[in-house]
Amino acid sequence: MLSLSVRPILFPLLRTPNPRSFLLKPLSSSYATASTSALTPPTPRTPCLPEHTDDPTPLFLRPPTHSVPSSSIAAFRRRATALVPPSAPHLHRHLRWFLADASAPAPSTPTDPTPPNHLLLRAPLDELEALWLAHVRDRRPFQYVVGNEHWGGLVVAVRDGVLIPRPETEAVLKMVGAVDGFQGGWWADLGTGSGAIAVAVARMLGPSGRVFATDVSEVAVEVARLNVQRYDMQDKVEIRHGSWFEPLEDVKGKLMGVISNPPYIPTDDLPGLQPEVGWHEPKLALDGGKDGLDHLLHLCEGLSSALKPGGFFVFETNGSKQSDFLVEFISTKWSSSFCNVEAVLDFADIKRFVRGYRR
Ligand SMILES: C[S@@+](CC[C@H](N)C(=O)[O-])C[C@H]1O[C@@H](n2cnc3c(N)ncnc32)[C@H](O)[C@@H]1O
């Protein structure tokens, strides 16, 4: 049984891009630069989270055990609203979502011990106060504050140390769904992060379909396993700790598809990322080496032995330059191994993906 927080928002009605993600990516580039941000960075940057936020359980999944008078919550709302700068009106929306994710209605049973005019919170009010401050002042992404992101029809748990899944990545789901016989195949999601792709693909598969997902980050593996469990996909998804193809020796040559959104930002571009990304998201998930191609090239090298004949692959890239390069590279170097290799546009008409088939 999933314990999903009820958020009175429109997510299921929205098409991507999800407006929440615009805070992270107001431009068409997957990881926006500092100049796109509406807020002024704090100087110096001092994390303002109190010690007791060490609880790694995402806020929205914690039990609502803190009974707080409605008047105290109203006072918190006023203080939180006062912190919102006029230049960032979207924070009013975040505050509504934050309070919705952090609270639960008191059960209306005669035996309920919650006093009248009290609400149940998932964390003490002082912790919520600190979390809100971290979002507004330290530019901590909203998704890390509440512990989730809405992605691909899922509510994906996230926390510090794991990349927040981006709306453009949702396009890989449609590409997987267009592969002949995809439901019965074995798929790999390499660099799974939160496990968003792995879980969403697994939900599309039939009884014999499987997803093998790898990540070198222990935090990512932990969070991905949590998401697999929350969506009851343990029979279909196996999360394996290790580097790229290494943990997949036993399924080598048997995969119907390989999907990866690897780190692809050129190292020199990292300091220019907007604070929400550069300060808070894991470098391991972003840094693609000198040209951003280190991991993409490594993945290309491993493809032909991982895929079965006719198998499909799709990689996310930083944009046209990387996509064009990879299409040319794969088509030239491995013309006898791959066919129909092409760049695919994202919703902002940027060549975001490279896909193709093993001959
Ligand atoms: C851009 S994030 C993508 C996460 C997730 N697939 C998504 O789309 O939201 C890249 C992921 O690759 C992982 N990664 C980095 N180096 C890796 C390696 N050598 N082997 C496996 N995963 C790696 C990172 O930990 C991170 O989770």
Q: Are residues 143 and 164 in contact, defined by beta-carbon separation less than 8 angstroms?
A: yes
Is a pLDDT exceeding 90 seen at residue 91? Answer: yes
pTM: 0.87
Q: Whose Cα sits closest to atom 9 in ligand 1?
A: 165
Nearest in space to 119 (alpha carbons), one of 64, 67, 62: 67
Ligand 1, CB within 6 Å, residue ranges: 163, 165, 169, 191-194, 196-197, 214-217, 220, 243-244, 261-263, 284-285
Q: Distance between CA 100 and CA 340 in Å, rounded?
A: 47
In this structure, is the dihedral angle defined by the CA atoms of residues 62, 64, 65 and 68, taken in order, positive or negative? positive
Q: How far is the CA of 260 from the centre of ligand 1 (A)?
A: 8
Is a pLDDT exceeding 50 seen at residue 302? Answer: yes
Is a pLDDT exceeding 90 seen at residue 53? Answer: no
Q: Whose Cα sits closest to atom 26 in ligand 1?
A: 285
Q: How confident is the model at residue 56 (pLDDT cuts 50, 70, 90)?
A: confident
pLDDT digits over 203-231, tens only?
999 999 999 999 999 999 999 999 999 99
What domains appear along the chain, each with residue ranges and CATH number? 38-138 (no CATH), 157-358 (3.40.50.150)
Q: CB-based contacts of 35: which residues, under 8 Å, 6+ apart?
A: none
Q: What percent of the chain has pLDDT over 70?
A: 84
Q: How confident is the model at residue 55 (pLDDT cuts 50, 70, 90)?
A: confident
Identify which of 284, 293, 322 to mutate to test ligand 1's pocket (most ligand atoms within 8 A of the CB): 284
Q: How far is the CA of 96 from the centre of ligand 1 (A)?
A: 31
pLDDT digits over 274-283, tens only?
999 999 999 9
What's phi and psi for 257, nearest 5 deg? -155, 150
Q: Are residues 125 and 76 in contact, defined by beta-carbon separation less than 8 angstroms?
A: yes
Max alpha carbon distance in the chain (Å)? 73
